[in-house]
Amino acid sequence: MKGNSMNSETIGAAMKKQFIEVYGVKPVKFVRAPGRVNLIGEHTDYNGYPVMPIAIPFTISIAAAPREDRQVRISNTDPIFQAASFDLSPDIPHSDTGQWANYVKAAANELCSRSDLDLYGMNALFSGDIPNSAGLSSSSALVIASALALLAVNDIRMDKTELAEMMARGEHYVGTQGGGMDQAICLLGRQGKAVKLDFFPLRHTYAPFPDNHSIVVAHSLVRAAKTENALLLYNRRPAECRLATAIINTRYNAGPPLSRLGDLPGHAFFTAFANPVDFVNETFDKSSYTLDEVANLTGENAESLTSKYLMTRSGVPMPSPPEGFLIRQRALHVLTEAKRVEESAKALGCGDARMFGKLMNESHRSCDEQYGISTPELNRLTEIMRSNGALGARLTGAGFGGCAIGLVRDENVESLLDGVREEYYNTFIKENHPELLKTVSSPESLMFTVKPSDGAYTRQL
Ligand code: GLA
């Protein structure tokens, strides 16, 4: 996972040259939007609980020029991504699943839903170095960069928070039912700071990232592409949380129904419990529920539950999981993870990197045991990080593969990287999945070290 070697000036100049070759005119705007590493708070955002990510110095860049019609033409410095074009409208037809154009369309489609924005099209050249299918939010960076480029060529300024919320909705165009973390951190990231984000509505505060510490990121080599099976697995988690909310609403029937688990803290029936774990154990007496059992508990029939809570973008219901809906575990993770984020913000506020590392470890365990989003590879990789000097280690992002992160003192970065290289890639992966190493040039290309970086920006070219 190399990259980030070129600074904005150099990459801007290189893209300008290629842009002129492709479009025959000069680009006038340059946009850069970063990927992210989520430090803690996994799968809490769409539940209305906080997260704490950082922006990283791997980015999507766009050189763009306005057009006098409504067409958007896109091309990429990497020939693997085919050129495409489409017309601006509030109902842009999708490209085939998995096509990169869908992320650009997601941004355009959402901006066009605003009748007060009369947008003209653009010619745009994209370039990026955020590894994809790694859980580092390359897709949201692409969506945000596209939105910023369209706004920039139309000379429109938009508040970052407003844009982040719009694009969180907008990204559902591609079929994911994610929350708003990735779009928000992409816009609100700040050098040297972890960003605590709260949702509904989006709010942010900065917490100091510990001095003399870094985050080591290492790819587990399991791809986490949200266009494949991982999309179904990912979307099932918000669905299980919606079912949990429906059960709570019927059971406590206290005032206006909760929209999501994050509404719980405002309710006396919840705060009457000594802690969230007691609440969850009391409320969900089974570990696994069939749809019919949820129907019995909520008084709604299975059909109505399906159409309210279990639909995919294409209008097909999600299949019920063979193990049933693991609602109790999911709620347990979400509520304890929310608490860990609050405790993490406090720990960072007083420079307590050790405490923060401990919370990262607890978060990983909960992601694995309660939320079911880890893999044996991510478990091994995080163990190796811990035994090689990481104060804390966990998966980052949606899970089901992708990267693990370790918090480490700067002076221990090299020995941590050595440990991961030897014990994970050269031993664990070589013994268990040698085929995964075939496409990799060297273990060095799978690991990097980051500190919090600035969020997205636009400038003249
Ligand atoms: C993906 C989603 C985010 C968030 C994470 C899990 O990255 O896009 O909104 O839900 O998964 O924390």
Please report the pLDDT score of residue 415 as a whole number: 98
- Supply the pLDDT for residue 2: 47
| 169 has a pLDDT exceeding 60 | yes
**CA 280 to chain CA centroid, nearest Å:** 26
Which burial class, exposed, middle or buried, applies to 460 when counting CB atoms under 10 A from its CB (0-12, 13-18, 19+)? Answer: exposed
pLDDT at residue number 309: 94
Nearest-atom number in ligand 1 for the CA of 45 is: 10
- Sketch out the chain's domains with CATH numbers: 8-207+454-460 (3.30.230.10), 218-225+351-450 (3.30.70.890), 237-329 (1.20.1440.340)
Burial 343-356 (b: 16+ CB within 10 A, else e): bbbebbeeebbebb
C-alpha 326, offset from chain centre: 22
Read off the pLDDT band of 177 (50, 70, 90): confident
**Residue 181 in contact with ligand 1 by CB distance below 6 A:** yes
Task: Look up residue 14 and give its two tokens.
Answer: 């290189």
Which residue's C-alpha comes closest to atom 2 of ligand 1?
Answer: 178
Q: Which residue would you say has higher pLDDT here, 300 or 314?
A: 300
Instruction: Decide: 373 and 367 in contact? Cβ < 8 Å.
Output: yes
**Token pair belonging to 228:** 């494949």
| pTM recorded for the entire structure | 0.96
- H-run or E-run covering 87: strand 84-87
Average of per-residue pLDDT across 381-399: 97
For ligand 1, mutation pick of 36, 39, 44, 45 (most atoms within 8 Å of CB): 45
Average pLDDT over residues 316-322: 90
Instruction: Give dist(CA 343, CA 359) in Å, integer.
Output: 8
Catalytic sites, residue numbers: 182
Share of the chain above pLDDT 70, in %: 98
pLDDT at position 227: 63
Q: How far apart are the first and last CA of the chain?
A: 28
295, pLDDT greater than 60: yes
pLDDT higher than 80, residue 150? yes
Q: Roughly what angle, to the nearest 10 degrees, separates helices 291-298 and 302-309?
A: 100
Mean pLDDT taken over the chain = 95
Which atom of ligand 1 is found nearest the CA of 226?
1
The backbone torsions φ and ψ at residue 51, rounded to the nearest 5 degrees and listed phi first, read -135, 165
**Whether the predicted pLDDT of 399 surpasses 60:** yes
The pLDDT assigned to 3 comes to: 47
pLDDT tens column, 98-129:
899 999 999 999 999 999 999 999 999 999 99
The tens digit of pLDDT for each residue in 345-380 reads 999 999 999 999 999 999 999 999 999 999 999 999
Task: Kindly list the strands in the beta sheet with 52-66, ordered across the sheet, starting from the edge strand earlier in the chain.
Answer: 84-87, 71-76, 122-128, 52-66, 29-40, 457-460
Confirm or reject: Cβ of 179 under 6 Å from ligand 1. Answer: yes
pLDDT greater than 80 at residue 5: no
228, pLDDT greater than 80: no
Percent with pLDDT over 90 in the chain: 87
Atom number of ligand 1 nearest to Cα 137:
7
pLDDT at 28 over 60: yes
Per the CB < 8 A criterion, the answer to whether 89 and 167 are in contact is no
pLDDT tens digits for 197-223? 999 999 999 999 999 999 999 999 998
Structure tokens at 420: 């991961």
Phi, psi of 390 (to 5 degrees): -70, 135
Q: What pLDDT is recorded for position 1? A: 57
Q: What's residue 457's pLDDT?
A: 97
Testing ligand 1's pocket by substitution, the residue of 181, 202, 237, 242 carrying the most ligand atoms inside 8 A of its CB is 181
Distance 259 CA to ligand 1 centre (A): 19
Element housing 76 (H / E): strand 71-76
